[in-house]
Structure 1
């Protein structure tokens, strides 16, 4: 049973071997990434070292939790500030508009008063002209 380079039997085993090698290489790279990123390798160490590592991981977890709480607290604070700002801005706008509407009323009242005075003066001139001409 000689196997030649081009025989189908030989090619099939090569493909299986290549894919097995690729899988192993991929698994090894993934294992290294997990060890590098998570700091939790499968390399055995002393109990003291494992204790130190678990303490650091606990610190990371506590810090992450604290950061998460601060973010939530900050979001809540900014929402409250935004609501207060919006309310105060609406109140300021309402007060300003009311003030300007009051000014408009005063101007209209003044204009009406001036028109009345103008009409009275116009009538007085007419009466004076009539008496002067007679």
Structure 2
């Protein structure tokens, strides 16, 4: 989210939120900040003493600092969640790969065992045939 400074009246500066392309207008934080800026602009149209203007400028500086802090926290939070999401995805893919390899190895072992059993079964079948038919020339 990019923050844009807009000049108003007697040189006082105001913050206005400018959403990035991927941000949506329905963002509750965006709407709350937009309402504050709108109220500021409405209140700025009322004239007042220099002391009041100084006090208002001080409050606007606090708003600007707080808005900047919130913006930075949002960005760091997005970055943190993105990194966590990437780590989660990589770990989940690694777990999947390990499990697939384990099952592939089980399949190979079962096939080897089956081939060995078939070989033993054929040998036993031949031995049974020879035992049942002793008169066959050897």
TM-score above 0.5, yes or no: yes
- 1:36 deviates by 4.1
Q: 1: CA distance between counterparts of 2:125 and 2:85? A: 59
The reply to whether residue 84 of structure 1 matches residue 87 of structure 2 is: yes
Question: Which of 1 and 2 has higher RCO (CA within 8 Å, sep 6+)?
Answer: 2
* Superposition map of 1:1-134 within 5 A: 36-38=39-41, 39-45=43-49, 47-131=50-134
Q: Unmatched 5+ residue regions in structure 2? A: 1-36
Structure holding more strand per residue:
2
Distance of aligned partners of 1:91 and 1:53 in 2 relative to their CA distance in 1, 3 Å threshold: same
- Structure 1 unaligned blocks of 5 or more: 1-33
Q: What's the TM-score once normalised by structure 1's chain length?
A: 0.67
State the aligned residue count: 99
CA RMSD in angstroms comes to: 2.1
1: CA distance, partners of 2:108 / 2:97:
16
**What is the CA deviation profile of residues 35-56 of structure 1, one whole-angstrom value per residue up to 9, with x for unaligned ones?**
84423224122x3322221111
Higher helix share: 1
Q: In the superposition, relative to structure 1, how do residues 89 and 100 fare at CA in structure 2: closer, same or farther (>3 Å)? A: same
Give, in angstroms, the shift of residue 131 of structure 1. 2.1
Larger radius of gyration: 1
